Amino acid sequence: MSEDNKIVENPQAGVRKKILLVDDDREIVESMRIALDASGYEVVVARDGNQGLALAEREDPDLVILDMMMPKRSGFLVLEKLRRTRPVPLRVIMITANEGNRHKAYAETLGVDDYIRKPFAMDRLLDSVTRLLK
């Protein structure tokens, strides 16, 4: 098993929830992975939008944390495809450095569950994850 795909039992729930991180920024991914791992989640990592879609299909995560701007396929295109092809919608948190409200509004029309602007406090992300996975 690779370093990016560690499996951790969630001691509070007794059942581990799987989170797919889709982001091309290695430092941000590693920070999120460490925080989510410490909180008891199983973490799977994709480095671009195409890999994110493939892993979403193969791994069937409970939640996706999706960067907006990525190589090969943007977060918007990934979200659009996930919404069109999955019978049961995945929970999705979109993260972005983009300041524009237009992008947030578009993400909301696509059905994003939360929208977090970078830089963000890790507690903000963990609170959102906890709320969405209840």
The CATH number of whichever domain residue 116 belongs to comes to 3.40.50.2300
The pLDDT of residue 13: 46
The pLDDT of residue 14: 61
The domain of 51 spans: 3-132
Nearby residues of 91 by Cβ (< 8 Å), 6 or more positions away: 62, 63, 64, 113, 132, 133
| CA 4 – CA 97 distance, rounded (Å) | 23
Q: Mean pLDDT for each consecutive 10-residue tract of the chain (134 residues)?
A: 45 75 95 96 96 95 95 91 86 90 91 94 97 94
**Rg of the chain on CA atoms, in Å:** 14
Total domains in the chain come to 1
pTM over 0.75: yes
Cα dist from 16 to 9, 10, 70, whole Å: 5, 5, 28
